[in-house]
Amino acid sequence: MQVKEFKIKWGMVIDIDKCTGCGACMIGCQVENNIAPMTKKDPYNYVQALTKDRDDPSNKLRTLTWMNIYELSNGQPYPNHETAYLPRPCMQCGSPACVPVCPVVATDKNEEGGIVSQIYPRCIGCRYCMAACPYHARYFNWWDPLWPEGMDKGLSTAVSPRPRGVVEKCNFCHSRYLDAKDKARQEGSDPMNLPDGAYVTACTDICPTKAIHFGDLNNPEHKVYELSRSKHAFRLLEKLGLHPQVYYMSEREWVRKQGDNYNAGGGAHH
């Protein structure tokens, strides 16, 4: 698939040298996007009660973490060991692996801004997109979303809770984009030329070290424009040609090296 280019290209530049892996972004994301806490019991389903519990949050392969944090290591033994944290939202690829494979057009990259959408009411839950995404940015609703008693009253209006059986992922808090455009229209400014900071994601907002920068990668007035062009910037798996709209930056070479494959071990004993 060809790279889809848009006039506006929303993107992130995440400064790994600033990220402490505290997890605030992951929690902010769940709250913004109405992701239910992982509860073991399903009080509405007696068959569930008779069989095994739903998943434990420590099973990292069953969580719903649109924003996920990976721990990086330089692989050296003590005392030369170094560590870093890499937050991983959806990369909103320019040439997404997931979009062309979806049989029902439940995910698309067709809107100005270049955000890869996910249409929950259309998703049939085949999980082909998950198999396609090398970043593991896509998550499946293995169970029904259930909030512990009383907790469902405080829900965000950003997005409806998804039923079980559909795939979901980060969409750069798309409703915030709509809100920002609406606000611009009301104020008589150009919704297609939002100033830096008029639209940011929940994770960007909440990050205590401001490691996440968000903006239009094509707009020189946005900070990400310059940051994404810095010599310390890199993207994940650039060699595969997916053209992610999420950049990372680090002054540490070993961190940058973890962003892609470099025929590790020099081909080893091949």
Contacts of another protein in 51-90 (CB under 8 A): 51-52, 54-65, 69-73, 76-79, 81-86
Verify binding: residue 17, another protein, rule CB under 8 A: yes
Q: Tokens for 168?
A: 């979901």
The correct pick among 4, 112, 125, 256 for binding another protein (CB under 8 A) is: 125
Burial of 252 (0-12, 13-18, 19+ CB in 10 A): middle
Verify binding: residue 3, another protein, rule CB under 8 A: no
The correct pick among 24, 117, 180, 196 for binding another protein (CB under 8 A) is: 24
Q: How far is the CB of 122 from another protein (least distance, A)?
A: 6
Q: Cα(66)–Cα(212) distance, rounded to whole angstroms?
A: 15
Verify binding: residue 110, another protein, rule CB under 8 A: no
| 3-class SS of residue 175 | helix
The correct pick among 112, 126, 180, 196 for binding another protein (CB under 8 A) is: 126
Q: How far is the CB of 78 from another protein (least distance, A)?
A: 4
Q: Say how many residues touch another protein, by CB under 8 A.
A: 135
The correct pick among 38, 90, 184, 224 for binding another protein (CB under 8 A) is: 38
Q: How far is the CB of 114 from another protein (least distance, A)?
A: 17
Q: By CB under 8 A, which span of 6-14, 29-37, 188-196, 223-231 interacts with another protein?
A: 29-37
What residues are paired with 213 via a beta bridge?
13
Site string for another protein, 172-201 (x = CB under 8 A): ------------------------------
Pairing of strands 83-88, 246-249: unpaired
In the chain, DSSP finds a helix count (H) and a strand count (E) of 7, 8
Q: Cα(206)–Cα(223) distance, rounded to whole angstroms?
A: 18
Q: By CB under 8 A, which span of 5-13, 161-169, 187-195, 214-222 interacts with another protein?
A: 161-169
Q: How far is the CB of 245 from another protein (least distance, A)?
A: 15
> DSSP string spanning 104-167?
T--S---STB-PPP--TTT-----HHHHH-TT--EEE--S-----TTGGGS--SSSPPPPTT-E
Q: Cα(253)–Cα(259) distance, rounded to whole angstroms?
A: 10
